[in-house]
Amino acid sequence: MRKILYFFLLFFLFGCSDNSITKKYKQNLVDKQIDCLSMLVFPPDQGIEDSLNKLYDFNDSCNYKLQVSKKGGIICNSSHNLQKKVLNNFPSGYLKMNLYSGNIPLYNYYIDLKNEPTSSDVERAFSKIREELHF
């Protein structure tokens, strides 16, 4: 009984958290005011572009670039992750957003997903980037 209680406690503490990974590069550049962004989504995905365009007015001539990539339908045949696969906790997709000033990386956002990225995944990611970079 104690183990079950411990499991539920861990689930409630960590089960609903955002499991994204973020990293800031070149802190002095990140601290500068970002007044515009251009966007590149690869592979092209109209849904992601539409979601981002609702959140921000992108400018193709801007030096700050938001590069967005996604993947879905990932299948791993390795037995290394067998426990995660059995528990149906193995990610089958990801969403990644990288912010560059020219060719210099400033910020990275990455999250594993169980399915293809949805518009709410994109909105959460972009909101987190804006919150951390204050623009």
* Residue reference for tokens 């997709």: 93
Tell me, what's the pLDDT at 16?
39
Residues 6+ apart with CB under 8 A from 78: none
Within a domain: residue 13?
no
Domain total in the chain: 1
Model confidence band, residue 32 (pLDDT cutoffs 50, 70, 90): confident
| 13's tokens | 């503490």
Q: What is the pLDDT of residue 125?
A: 96
Please report whether residue 7 resides in a domain.
Answer: no
**Pair 43, 68: CB distance under 8 Å:** no
Residue 53 lies in a domain: yes
Q: Which of 106, 135, 121, 116 is nearest to 36 (CA)?
A: 135
Residue 49 lies in a domain: yes
Q: Give me the chain's average pLDDT, please.
A: 77
Is residue 120 domain-resident?
yes
How confident is the model over 58-84, as pLDDT tens digits?
999 999 999 999 976 545 554 544 454
Domain range for 23: 18-133
23, pLDDT greater than 80: yes
Mean pLDDT of 41-68: 96
